[in-house]
Amino acid sequence: MLRGFYSAASGMITQQRRTEMLTDNISNLNTPGYKADNGSIRTFPEMLLEARGGASPFNGNPRPIGELATGVYMQERTPNFTQGDVRGTGIKTDAALLQGNLPDGSALFFTVQNEAGETRYTRNGNWTVDGAGFLTTSQGFYVLGEDGDPIAVENENFMLMADGTIRNENGTVSGQLGVAYAEDAQDLVKEGSGLLRAETGDLPAADADYQVQQGFLERSNVDPTRTMTEMMESYRVFEANQRILQAYDQNMQRAVNDIGRLG
């Protein structure tokens, strides 16, 4: 009976973690460039049951009964890096990165600099210009050029070309946006604030077909209908495991009380 406790409890923990993941997706529904997470649910190794009857563990002919599952767990959260829909905003400091035909699993990213001066990657092109005239993200992180340095645009009246080249109001070139290529985007780690970290060193510059559109933003790729459906399903599975756990608890309590009464 204790195995039933463990199986039901593991199911509840798994659905709790899945619900937290789905809640994160829903809360970032309107975050530009956000990539929805998918959960991978796995089962623990199964146990093989055998009936031995009166035979000792070292002799006799045990009779196989079958396999017994020992519970489930959520192995990992993997982001879905498919490109989201692009919408026009008319704001000059907004930019959308449109990637062409890339190998499966690969993706392109803008390069930015976090508060520690380290290179990070993002699909969020919701930018602004700080007091010193540098192009920054909405969180205040510098947007980097292809040379790895912050880009000075002086003011918001700049022009962004399709290849990422930035021209100031007077026509001079400020630089070119740094666009990085990830051969396997699943190797990147989410850090919050829309930033991603490469654990194997900085990503190489993109040598692929892409376009940058000024005055546009890439929307989150979260599917709200599907996410809400999965969330309701997760709630139902959690409640089912909760009822099973309560039934086991009542049976154990009854068994303990009855055995104590017989003694």
Can you give the residue range of the structural domain that contains 184?
86-218
pLDDT of residue 47: 61
Strands 86-88 and 173-176: unpaired
Q: Same domain for 112 and 18?
A: no
Q: Same domain for 90 and 214?
A: yes
pLDDT of residue 142: 97
Q: Same domain for 227 and 126?
A: no
pLDDT of residue 48: 61
Helix, coil or strand: residue 152: strand
Count of domains forming the chain: 2
Q: Same domain for 196 and 151?
A: yes
Q: Same domain for 213 and 228?
A: no
In single-letter form, the type of residue at position 139 comes to Q
Extended beta strands in the chain, E state: 37-43, 47-51, 63-68, 72-79, 86-88, 95-99, 107-113, 119-122, 127-129, 135-137, 142-143, 159-160, 165-167, 173-176, 179-182, 188-192, 195-198, 210-214, 216-218
0.85 exceeded by pTM: no
Q: Same domain for 107 and 198?
A: yes
d(CA 190, CA 69): 33
DSSP state of 126: B
Q: Same domain for 248 and 201?
A: no
Burial class (CB in 10 A: 0-12, 13-18, 19+), 143: buried
Query: Per the structure block, which two tokens stand in for 53?
Result: 């009857």
Ranges of residues in the chain whose predicted pLDDT is under 70: 1-3, 45-70, 259-263
Alpha-carbon separation of residue 158 from 129, 152, 166, 171, 179 (angstroms): 10, 10, 7, 9, 19
d(CA 237, CA 235): 6
Q: Same domain for 195 and 228?
A: no
In a domain, 104, yes or no: yes
In a domain, 190, yes or no: yes
In a domain, 102, yes or no: yes
Q: For the chain, give the number of residues.
A: 263
pLDDT of residue 244: 86
pLDDT of residue 66: 64
Q: Same domain for 198 and 233?
A: no
Q: Same domain for 214 and 113?
A: yes
pLDDT of residue 59: 54
In a domain, 58, yes or no: no
Query: Per the structure block, which two tokens stand in for 91?
Result: 């704001």
Query: Per the structure block, which two tokens stand in for 45?
Result: 């190794």
Q: Same domain for 34 and 153?
A: no
CA–CA–CA angle 215, 216, 218 (5° rounding): 155
The residues that bridge with 33 in the sheet, in sequence order, are: none
In a domain, 57, yes or no: no
In a domain, 62, yes or no: no
pLDDT of residue 245: 85
Query: Per the structure block, which two tokens stand in for 159?
Result: 């022009």
Q: Same domain for 127 and 8?
A: no
In a domain, 169, yes or no: yes
In a domain, 59, yes or no: no
